[in-house]
Structure 1
Amino acid sequence: MPQQPEFGRRLKRLRTARGLSQAALVGDGMSTGYLSRLESGERRPTERAVAYLAARLGVEAADFDRPDGSLARALTLATSTGSDDAMEALRTALREDTESSALQRWQALWLLARARRLQGDHAGERAHLDALTAVGDEVGLPELRARGLTALARCLRSLGEIGPAGTAAVEAHRLARAHDLAVADRATALLALVSVTAEAGRLPDAGGYADELTALVAGRHDALWAEAMWTAAAVRVRQGDHAAAQAHLDDALAHFTSGDDLVLWLRLRLAAARLQLCKRPPRPDAAEPLVDAAQAALAFVGTPALHQELAAIKADLAFCAGRYEEARVLLRELADDEPRMTYRDRARLDILRNQLRVMDGDPAGAEGLRALAEQAQAVANIDLAAEIWRILAETGTAAPAPSGAPAPPGAVRSRSPQLPL
């Protein structure tokens, strides 16, 4: 039997979260006076009353026995543990909350969005970030507004929505500079801006922002610096300057340790491996030990998203090494999983599948590549579209790119995967 006064507090919170008056909740089955005494803790509920109220609220009777779900308490638990149960309790508390400050709600949404990102659930992350940016505007602090817009820009980019991502990234950068925010805020805004402008095909702008970013974090060797080196390397690859890209990544690999952030340490090695596959000719022999190091680290920080990221680069590696059947097996395994990848990474896998079809003489391969290029162009991912049109041109099996499609700037090997931002 639920105990008072906890039962009354939770009952009132559930009712107000649904926007119900006492009269609307009780209907014809209970008096408002009795409900009022239950909510105040003056009366102990009967089993019949609990069952009736649970049905009216759309919850289980057992839900009234949960510990107090205040947002402040849920925030404390989520911040200190980060467990799945704590995050679920935080989601519930936020959904039911009617009294907490906008600052508390912003913090809750920030934690929930970050948890979704770590799981590779970018659609779920976006839902939290849309709410978070609205709360940030309500609070009015430039730091929170810039952080929310930066996170939204990175999420939208992951979903392949380059236009809206660019709008959010530009505004985050403007806020960070206009209010002279801390280096961390300015740098993370630039990280998003570099990525989005590069994928929009604006490489001169991306290069300029990358220079601003590396100058801003010069002298550091923390996670922010390592991400900046990785991001700058990705821009240099797109500009065709593999030597500069290699220098950036070598610097990060040499000075950023696994003790600082094992996930980032792992992903830096995947990025360095992909760089080796981008070279002409590709260097699968140099990529292999980097992939092996990342795989060893995955035993300690493995998530579905990271497992998929590793499997994807192993498929690229097998393809570049001429081990085509191994690549096919890896692609089939990835197809069986729920995708937890960015739009670009999913597109990269589809490119590889279609390249293998072209090699097998299947005309559906060229048709699939063309459809991918047109889709990338439609969402303003000009960089990705240009890469696919180049691959199509080199297969010799496809019609020319449609009018207005990005022109391929020189010959690029069709099997070279792009270094991810």
Structure 2
Amino acid sequence: MNRKKIIVPLVLLVAIACYFVFFHKDKTLQFIPENADAVALVDVKKLTRQYISSFINHPSQWFDGKKTDKEGSSVWDAGVKIPDFLQIFHLKNTGFYHWYTVIELDDHQKFLSFLKKQKFINKGENLFQKDHISLSIQGDHCIVGTSEQDLASVHHLLLQSSAKKKYNADQFIEGTTGSISFISGQKIQNFSVELKDDEVEIKNISKTETFNALLTKVQQKARFLEIELDAENVKKLTFFFNKSTGDIPEVAHYKASAELEQVNDTIVTYGYDDNFNEIEKKTFQKITQPKYMISLQSPNLEKTWEYFQNKKWINSQNQFTIIPFQPNSIYKNKEGIVIESTENPIQLSPDLRENYIFIKNDALLSSSASFINKGILSTIDYIFYGNKAEDYYIRLQGKKGKLPLILRW
């Protein structure tokens, strides 16, 4: 038999199989409720291709024993259907950190076994929790969220066909690994998410030279935290966290600088000796705390100060109590309102009159932030946010390493 007659159809079949496995995608989004106001999409097949490409190009990972050990507890073998697009959404009028996704189950028992291996706590009634992740199993679907609060509501919405809006992936994402989109009525504002070897970029623009120049200036300050925002950015940030800005006085300019330091904290306790005399015991522990300065400029300084007082954010010692790091002091000067740590205070960096947030990784951060994944944190160098008019740019910069981020994570 002619070998070409066998090889050509075989190659064709392999090519067709590869296309359907790695490229063909169902772009219908089934799990986005009508009252979602933000959607994050992950192109799972594109991400898979990136992972395979990175894996092939780094032979040191081919025989990594650690990865082999984890295969038994991998989400790829957890009894779930791997979607073409992972759909993560936020509901209107819910907490800023409350995000949800729905996954389909192939094998109920295998999925329960996966949850057990991952040390999820069974709270009964098909509700499971681990750290800040909650999930509810409803038939052949599992609703996963960063909060337990709206799991039942999400399930109810998904049961109602009228509450589900038929979206197509092309409305949110175009050729990138992921996207983050904000929905307001019929308007959808999209931000692309691109995963590169050492960084993740989120943006709504194609050219980033202006933001790269700004980032270079900010990096020269080399502090843990640098923030400078105009009135519009302050409003947006306040809205994200408070959902209402109706009674908040206008802040025309916001500036903050901070550094982390480790200090000895004294803990005083009292006990009794053998003769029942009260004795004082002192123990010491090292804690991480910031030293910082914040400046607020307002067109109506007295109204802003009065607002803080009415909210009882200023106590009798002129401390700004909404900031948990004490002691601090708050006072007015000719330029505005200043809040600063009273121990080892720092000075604000010079104004750039730009809109940015810069957070640089610090070794002290991982020792104090117990809620952060330490493995991921150790790979991050800094996070940068920049805004000019309608242009937005966010960069999550990874530390230089032998492996790309997709293999380190």
Scaled by the length of structure 2, the TM-score of the pair is: 0.24
Return the structure number with greater helix share: 1
Return the structure number with greater strand share: 2
Q: Which has the higher contact order (CA 8 A, sep 6+)?
A: 2
